[in-house]
Amino acid sequence: MLSQIVQPLVQTQIRLLANSQATRSTLVQTIARWLGYLGVQAKVIHLGTNCEHIQITLSVGKPDSCEKNDWLKIIENLDRNSPTTESSRDTYAAIGLSQRTKLQRLIAYLIQIGTPDRNVDWQTIEPQLRSLEFNESMILGIKSALKVPQSLEVLIQGIDPDVAAMALPQAVRIALLDRKINQEENSALTALLESMK
């Protein structure tokens, strides 16, 4: 599963960075290498620290698997939208009602399968959902969807590829809340990835 492959690699890199005499150059090379595994041409153009955070600015080129027309559309869309006008909250509000409901149910499903042996504790989950920048109506929809069992096959069927692409990063973060990915979560993430194609 994904966590069994990735976690040891991450732990090894953290130890390497902590014990390196050349932490800056090692981190820059690591970032470029890891993004390179995904076929992304990336270059670190700024690396600094701020309290307990590392701040990184990247220059990203067209990924190997990306068609030139798609890449040009991405660039055009970014040029058209200013950074201050876009937010995840606005994006969720722009999704059609049926797709938004599907997304709410999909997130609920991921939460349910992440805790298969016990009931979902809403008091714990709600702040985590807020940290993922879901708007209020999304959070209420997820809370409602948690009350009934969900079916992955039904949820993935008919999901819009753009909605799947938007949901995938949030789905990964939800699956990793307990720092591991179980078999059902892995299957759900794989199905979501496939539905983007």
| Cα separation, 113 vs 185, whole angstroms | 7
Examine residue 102 and state whether it is found in any structural domain, yes or no. yes
Residues 70, 138: contact at Cβ < 8 Å? no
| Cα separation, 99 vs 94, whole angstroms | 10
Q: How far apart, in Å, do the first and last CA atoms of the chain sit?
A: 21
Domain identity same for 38 and 128: no
133-185 residue pLDDT tens: 788 888 999 999 998 888 888 888 888 888 888 788 888 888 887 777 888 88
Examine residue 73 and state whether it is found in any structural domain, yes or no. no
- Report phi then psi at 45, rounded to 5: -110, -10
Domain identity same for 41 and 101: no
pTM: 0.59
Examine residue 174 and state whether it is found in any structural domain, yes or no. yes
Domain identity same for 150 and 94: yes
Domain identity same for 103 and 189: yes
Average per-residue pLDDT for the chain:
81
**Domain containing 37: what range?**
2-60
Question: pLDDT at position 85, please?
Answer: 42
Question: pLDDT at position 81, please?
Answer: 66
